[in-house]
């Protein structure tokens, strides 16, 4: 079952969508998807429905303020926007949908936001999944963003974003590029927030990720306070759930199933 919902915030409405499989496990915490810097609900494509079927859990995705069908963002992103999402849009979603417990699953910058959500609501977060997440500002990340900036400057390329973000497309691209390439953002990292994450955490990362080396997930599992599992996906770039969907579904399904059996111990690489 698919349901669309609207979440109210002081700055405007957020669009959300949920997928509930017919055989949903009673009492299982829903999975909340947090999208990347250029993403939105629609860009998850069929992955949420397949994740719901694989996990037996409701999956919820939402457009952050300024993205997709949600209201425009009022101004420019602050330096602390990754941590602020946990206390802003996500907090509104959690309250209005009555999510006492949840699994936070984030792609790219959404992975950092998933960590922040777990750190902000330790009693409510059952587990975290980071996919291609950045834990600090790496040169490869900056180089990848500059390359994407040059590509979007070509005629017609911004239309790719307008298809999903409408007249907010230029803001979406600028928010990504200008924030990450700013001098004020150079020393950003997730270390302090990871130290407050005590629930099980799975870090997924492609070995060919153009926006971050394996140092990113390695830092995530090294600094997280709870049990961790690290999975490096071979011959995979920055979007594993699209490039190697079966492997991602299998890894996440196994990880979530393990929560019902026994706690993870140590950091495993595979």
Domain-located, residue 174: no
Name the one residue in this structure whose structure tokens are 């790219």. 108
Number of structural domains the chain divides into: 1
pLDDT (tens digit per residue) in 79-111: 999 999 999 999 999 999 999 999 999 999 999
CA–CA separation, 129 and 191 (whole Å): 16
Domain-located, residue 68: yes
Domain-located, residue 146: no
> What pLDDT does 97 receive?
98
Name the one residue in this structure whose structure tokens are 């206390």. 87
Domain-located, residue 125: yes
Global pTM exceeds 0.75? yes
CATH, residue 55:
3.40.50.1820
Domain-located, residue 155: no
Domain-located, residue 122: yes
Instruction: With beta carbons less than 8 A apart as the criterion, state whether 106 and 112 touch.
Output: yes
pLDDT (tens digit per residue) in 171-198: 999 999 999 999 999 999 999 999 999 9
Q: Which of 60, 52, 46, 81 is nearest to 15 (CA)?
A: 60
Domain-located, residue 251: yes
Residue 10 contacts by C-beta under 8 Å, 6 or more apart in sequence? Answer: none
Instruction: With beta carbons less than 8 A apart as the criterion, state whether 31 and 60 touch.
Output: yes
Half-sphere exposure of 136 toward its Cβ, with a 13 Å CA cutoff?
16
Q: Which of 77, 75, 111, 108 is nearest to 181 (CA)?
A: 77
Q: Which domain holds residue 75?
A: 2-135+189-259
């Amino acid at each position: 079952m698919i349901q669309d919902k609207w979440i109210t915030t002081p700055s405007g409405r957020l669009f959300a969508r949920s997928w509930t499989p017919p055989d949903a496990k009673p009492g299982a915490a829903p999975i909340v998807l947090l999208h990347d810097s250029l993403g939105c609900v629609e860009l998850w494509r069929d992955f949420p429905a397949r994740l719901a079927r694989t996990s037996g859990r409701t999956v919820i995705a939402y457009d952050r303020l300024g993205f997709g069908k949600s209201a425009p963002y009022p101004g420019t992103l602050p330096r602390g926007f990754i941590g602020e999402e946990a206390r802003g849009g996500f907090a509104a979603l959690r309250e209005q949908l009555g999510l006492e417990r949840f699994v936070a699953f984030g792609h790219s910058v959404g992975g950092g936001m998933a960590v922040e959500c777990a750190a902000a609501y330790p009693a409510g977060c059952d587990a975290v999944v980071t996919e291609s997440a950045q834990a600090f500002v790496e040169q490869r990340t900056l180089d990848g963003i500059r390359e994407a900036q040059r590509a979007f400057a070509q005629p017609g390329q911004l239309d790719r974003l307008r298809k999903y973000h409408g007249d907010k497309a230029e803001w979406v691209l600028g928010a990504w590029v200008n924030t990450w390439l700013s001098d004020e953002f150079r020393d950003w990292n997730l270390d302090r927030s990871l130290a407050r994450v005590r629930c099980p955490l799975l870090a997924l990362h492609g070995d060919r990720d153009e926006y971050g080396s394996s140092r990113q997930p390695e830092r995530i599992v090294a600094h997280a306070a709870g049990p961790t599992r690290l999975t490096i996906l071979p011959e995979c770039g920055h979007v594993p759930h699209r490039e190697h969907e079966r492997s991602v579904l299998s890894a996440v399904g196994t990880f979530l199933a393990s929560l019902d059996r026994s706690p993870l111990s140590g950091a495993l690489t595979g």
